[in-house]
A = this chain, B = another copy of it.
Amino acid sequence: MSLPDAIDLSHHLSQSSRKRGVSPLKGLQKYYGKPGLISLAGGLPSPEYFPFNVVSSEVLPKDHFPLKSSDKTTGLTWLRRILGFRNRGSTVAIPKYPKVQGDISLSTDLQYSLARGSPQLEGFTYNFSARVHKPAYKNFATMIDIGNTDGWFKAVTILCEPGQGILTSEWAYTTAIATIRPYGIEPVSVAMDGQGMRDDALRSVLSTWDEIERGMPRPHVLYIVPIGQNPTGVTMGLERKKAIYDVCVEFDVIIVEDDPYYFLQEGEYLPPQERSRKQEDHDDNDVEHFLSQLAPSFLRVDYQGRVIRLDSFSKTFAPGSRLGWCTCNPLFAERIERQSEISTQAPCGFSQSIIASLLLNWKFDGYIRWLRGVREQYTHRRDFFVDCLAERFDLIPSTSTEGIWSGSKVYIAYRTCNSPSNVKSTKLSSESQPLFSFVPPTSGMFTWLQMHFEHHPLFPSHGSKALETKLWIALAEAGLLIGPGSMFASEGKVQLRSDVGHFRISFSNAELVDLEKAVDIFASVLQTFHEA
């Protein structure tokens, strides 16, 4: 079946983006391919004067992390550090002048170069998006950017005007909101459930939009982190994406899919005793099987080209690479490229040459193998962190029917009785009050806790927001810094339920021993807090 081309979405472009012409120097480029052409047009320094003869990096092997992690593997961080240099890694080296023309070189990558990224990196990401995300239209393009924050800023710049609104989940990534607000672009909150944004809620917001009452036109852009959502950790499946997409077609909305945690799809949390039952991973080489297990991108249902997908190397290689890419229709890609030319210019050449060399060396299958290893590491971290909570609290499973965890298996945490083991029984729980509840995330880096304040002695006088802050300060004073939930309320106001507070806890970065210590601090501060 042949796929359609993207439809014409040019009416979504902002005033400034429409006015942004092809840079005058670009007009000269039709001559660039001419054999033997001498160009004295650009203000380029001579690569002779780049002081770098070679840049190289000793890199870990693609299968450095096992596909089935044991506690030992990840626990022995200090040992790995010491032995780090003895790993059977390899070296990627980029010379100033390549032996073979067209090979990655410093004379090219450290020179002024294309805003859309190096040809090698653009080629790799194009192929990657095609094979992994499989857009439902034909003429998509990929453009290297300098990370998803940059990608989001540029998407807003080419699409939005001051005085407009952008649809977001009710809980949303603070930096994404901080990007738009100063320009007079307001987040418009849409209710969530256990899969993230609800399509019925989205339809309701759009179909009942009253321009006068809301003080702005009906939003035409939607921002979403669909996998391991920041801050709630929830993940959206294909059916929900299809439903959201259909609403966006109906109301002519552009979707910006910010998906940095795509490859951290850790799967369902199982308590330790059940974990051995977990199905063994397939054959190491079965790339297609691995990809088929992942919740697909919005691109998979994007038959009109109305999705701008943001992928990043920040979570899979390193944030300091400042490299990511967007996949979108060719019109938007071209406008983003023009926007890059007058701001960020080309991505960093050191980064492009090192990352591209590594990827060309590993090839598609090798990079997938690396991603699977990294996913396994984060899965182990997620398991370890939830295990720690299960050790310090009594966790009673329950099924929620309302709010952001509607339809999910929720754990309600109670103060543990000093019994030798944290046996769960409904009898025990009924004797005390719930402290917090959460759904172990199936993707990403965050655990989102709903804190129960309704039985706190100060609740009637202070309310939940003040108690959240009070508890947050008590934790910080005791040596544990976590994200206060109110910070992530997309419209800046306290959400529906007034008897709860929230915290976002990241299990992605700390040493495991510190994760354990953190849960100890949390348990002890929480006890004192409720006794106060």
Residues of A within 8 A of B (CB): 15-21, 23-25, 28, 31-32, 34, 36-60, 64-65, 77, 80-81, 84-85, 87, 89, 96-97, 106, 109-113, 146-147, 149-150, 153, 174-175, 178-179, 181-184, 230, 314-315, 317-322, 341-352, 354, 358, 370, 374, 377, 381, 445-446, 476, 479-483, 487, 504-510, 514-515, 517-518, 521
Contacts known (A55-B55, A57-B55); A318 close to B40, Cβ less than 8 A: no
Contacts known (A36-B479, A44-B508, A521-B38); A175 close to B53, Cβ less than 8 A: no
Q: How far is the CB of A419 from chain B (nearest CB, A)?
A: 27
Q: How far is the CB of A59 from chain B (nearest CB, A)?
A: 5
Q: Is the CB of A349 within 8 A of B321?
A: yes
Q: How far is the CB of A438 from chain B (nearest CB, A)?
A: 14
A317 and B53 alpha carbons, distance in the complex (Å)? 12
**Among candidates B18, B319, B480, residue contacting A40 with C-beta atoms closer than 8 Å:** B480
Q: Is the CB of A481 within 8 A of B53?
A: no
Q: Is the CB of A174 within 8 A of B53?
A: no
Q: Is the CB of A19 within 8 A of B56?
A: no
A17 and B182 alpha carbons, distance in the complex (Å)? 7
**Among candidates B19, B96, B106, B109, residue contacting A182 with C-beta atoms closer than 8 Å:** B19
**Among candidates B49, B80, B112, B315, residue contacting A45 with C-beta atoms closer than 8 Å:** B315
Residue ID in chain B nearest A65 by CB atoms: B49
Q: How far is the CB of A414 from chain B (nearest CB, A)?
A: 22
Q: How far is the CB of A206 from chain B (nearest CB, A)?
A: 26
Q: Is the CB of A25 within 8 A of B487?
A: yes
Q: Is the CB of B476 within 8 A of A318?
A: no
Q: Is the CB of A23 within 8 A of B178?
A: yes
Residue ID in chain B nearest A46 by CB atoms: B509
Q: Is the CB of A53 within 8 A of B89?
A: yes
Could you list 21 examples of A-B contacts with CB < 8 Å?
A: A28-B481, A31-B481, A37-B479, A40-B481, A40-B505, A40-B507, A40-B509, A41-B481, A41-B483, A42-B506, A43-B445, A44-B509, A50-B317, A51-B317, A84-B96, A110-B319, A150-B343, A318-B349, A319-B345, A319-B349, A348-B350
Q: Is the CB of A320 within 8 A of B346?
A: yes
* Chain B residues near A47 (CB-CB < 8 A): 318
**Among candidates B53, B230, B487, residue contacting A24 with C-beta atoms closer than 8 Å:** B487
| Smallest CB-CB A-B distances: 5 pairs | A320-B349, A110-B320, A348-B348, A110-B318, A19-B182
Residue ID in chain B nearest A82 by CB atoms: B97
A15 and B352 alpha carbons, distance in the complex (Å)? 35
Q: Is the CB of B175 within 8 A of A41?
A: no
* Chain B residues near A55 (CB-CB < 8 A): 55-57, 354
Q: How far is the CB of A29 from chain B (nearest CB, A)?
A: 10
* Chain B residues near A53 (CB-CB < 8 A): 57-60, 84-85, 87, 89
